Structure 1
Amino acid sequence: MSATRLLVLGVVRMYGRAHGYQVRRELLTWSADKWASVQPGSIYHALKKMAAEDLLEQVEVEPGESGPDRVAYRITKEGDQEFHLLLAKALSEPTATAAEVAAGVSFLTALPRQRAISLLEHRLVVLESEERSASLMIRDTAHWEKAEHVAELFRLWSAQARTGLEWTRSLIERLTAGEYEMADDPSR
């Protein structure tokens, strides 16, 4: 999975149609260049690649539309499916990179409320398992004669899992309480 791919699809989807300059400008306002290492070249490359994969389709830029680009993009049905798949993975899989999770959180409200909660609950189950596994590995290092310092790696994994659990539980609570306007809320 790629944070850039999810971000680019999401921004094009959000606008309905967008050109590369618009996507780049939007992502810069989110500081995605810092937390996801999204660079201008990677945005334009992603747009062209996803157009070749039929996830995006090229459309003419309207006269007077701002930006230097001559081509705009619109998400296809397949692109929307890919967006939702990437979004689900970013929110549910604890193995997702920090950039992928951040990209997923950026588009959290594109999901129906219960779907978002379900994905996060899946994340909880896996994180609980990872935290338990790391704790068991820490306990087992007491019997090692050499390389006992490797227990620090297991302590790191345990701490990361606990932090992920705390954040995920908190987000589920906020969503359950009705925080954020989600895709299936009546006002949308």
Structure 2
Amino acid sequence: MSATRLLVLGVVRMYGRAHGYQVRRELLTWSADRWANVAPGSIYHALKKMAAEKLLEEVTAEDDGEARGPDKTAYRLTHDGETEFQLLLAKSLSESDDSVQGAHRLSAAVTFLPTLPRARAIGLLRHRITQLRGTEATTRDMIERHDEWGQPEHVDELYRLWLVNTQAMLTWLEDLVARLEAGKYVMADDPGTEFGAPPAE
């Protein structure tokens, strides 16, 4: 699962209907090419692939002066597309993954965090915290017992690096949960319009 997939679904959802150029422009204004490794070509590929998977449906683009060439085709989420968006969002927030791709997915998910009800967002983040607490304990054990495994002594530095990264992520997650519990940000079940909400019908 790529960050591009979640971001493209989220932007189309936010617009209600969008053509490729709109999605690309929106993501570039967020600098998603830098923090999520989203390339323009991958955006168009994701749109076509998800249309083939029936997560998006093709509709005729409204004449807004921006649609041209291939961008005469616009897309909107199907019911399955909404389900996929919610699933990808939940997995990206709740499942700990320290790979580069995992970091991209978490960044994409944080972008659309307000589209969730507050308690749901907190629950997903708490699940990730629980997983990371396990990783923290395992890494501490690796540092304390490295002699038993016959590892070269300097490998401890690698474990310490892992531990520091895990602790930094835990600090940020716990602070975010505290901010959400204190009422920070407009969430999906709050009065007002949250970021990423579909346009009103």
Partner residue in 1 for 2:124:
119
Partner residue in 2 for 1:44:
44
1:10 aligns with 2:15: no
Counterpart of 2:147 (choices 142, 152, 174) is 142
Write out aligned runs for 1:40-79 (5 A).
Answer: 40-68=40-68, 69-79=71-81
> Do the aligned partners of 2:51 and 2:58 also contact (CA within 8 Å) in 1?
yes
SS state at 2:145 partner: helix
Matched residues in 1 for 2:54 and 2:184: separation?
Answer: 35
Counterpart of 1:87 (choices 71, 75, 89) is 89
> Do the aligned partners of 2:97 and 2:103 also contact (CA within 8 Å) in 1?
no
Superposed displacement of residue 58, structure 1: 0.3
SS state at 1:95 partner: coil
Matched residues in 1 for 2:151 and 2:73: separation?
Answer: 61
Bigger relative contact order, structure 1 or 2, given CA contacts below 8 A and separation 6+? 2
Q: Aligned letter for 2:192?
A: S
Matched residues in 1 for 2:161 and 2:47: separation?
Answer: 37
Matched residues in 2 for 1:146 and 1:116: separation?
Answer: 40
Partner residue in 1 for 2:25:
25
Larger mean CA deviation between 160-169 and 136-145 belongs to 136-145
Structure 2 length-normalised TM = 0.90
Structure 1 length-normalised TM = 0.96
Q: Report the identity percentage.
A: 60
Please, which runs of 5 or more residues in structure 1 have no aligned partner? none
SS state at 1:57 partner: strand
Superposed displacement of residue 145, structure 1: 4.6
Matched residues in 1 for 2:7 and 2:129: separation?
Answer: 24
Matched residues in 2 for 1:146 and 1:167: separation?
Answer: 31
Superposed displacement of residue 187, structure 1: 2.4
> Do the aligned partners of 2:60 and 2:73 also contact (CA within 8 Å) in 1?
yes
1:155 aligns with 2:160: yes
SS state at 1:94 partner: coil
Matched residues in 2 for 1:143 and 1:53: separation?
Answer: 51
Matched residues in 2 for 1:84 and 1:150: separation?
Answer: 40
Matched residues in 1 for 2:151 and 2:76: separation?
Answer: 58
Please, which runs of 5 or more residues in structure 2 have no aligned partner? 194-201
Write out aligned runs for 1:160-171 (5 A).
Answer: 160-171=165-176
Matched residues in 2 for 1:119 and 1:65: separation?
Answer: 41
Post-superposition CA distance 1:42-100 (Å, at most 9, x none): 00000000000000000001123423211000001111111111111111111161111
Residue-pair matches, total: 188
